Amino acid sequence: MAKMLRTFAVAMAAGAIVLGGGLAQAKPKLTGEQELAKLLDGRVAGKPVDCIYTPMMSSSRVIDKTAIVYDSGRTLYVQRPKVGAESLDDDDILVTKLTGSQLCSIDTIQLVERNGGFWRGFVGLDKFVPYTKPPKVAAAD
């Protein structure tokens, strides 16, 4: 019995060390601006456009209180809403009602809570800024 208690105590101490070490090394959460800068690192901004062709978009990503990023593969289109950006939450569902195949700067997007399905607000869109990686230049020999 004593040996079993000692083994249990050693296991608990080891677990506390592992857990304690994990907490000490936890990374601080990035701000929305920092997360967006990290996502766009190495890309160059292009001329803002009024609309994006949604069938070409493979995904979208919400950056908390900052922007919505639409990915077309080679290009990331950054949407910084002119109304409601402070309501953006990366855990929300974006409900977009299109009348055609484009999402434009005059459109709005509703925000719905993922867990409860409750309407949380909306964002009013602005122009989309395309970000692309510059072409690689061959090194001179």
Interatomic CA distance for residues 17 and 93, integer angstroms? 39
3-class SS of residue 10: helix
Percent of the chain with pLDDT over 90: 70
3-class SS of residue 100: coil
Q: Which residue has the tokens 């977009």?
A: 96
pLDDT at res. 5: 44
pLDDT at res. 2: 53
DSSP 32: H
pLDDT at res. 1: 53
Q: Which residue has the tokens 């001329």?
A: 47
State the number of CA atoms in the 13 A half-sphere of 118 facing the CB.
Answer: 3
Residue 10 pLDDT greater than 50, yes or no = no
Q: Tell me what the pLDDT averaged over the chain comes to.
A: 85
pLDDT at res. 3: 53
pLDDT tens by residue, 92-138:
999 998 889 999 999 999 999 999 899 999 999 999 999 999 888 76
Which position has the higher pLDDT, 11 or 89? 89
Nearest to 122 by CA among 91, 78, 92, 77: 92
Interatomic CA distance for residues 84 and 82, integer angstroms? 7
pLDDT class for 11, splitting at 50, 70, 90? Answer: very low
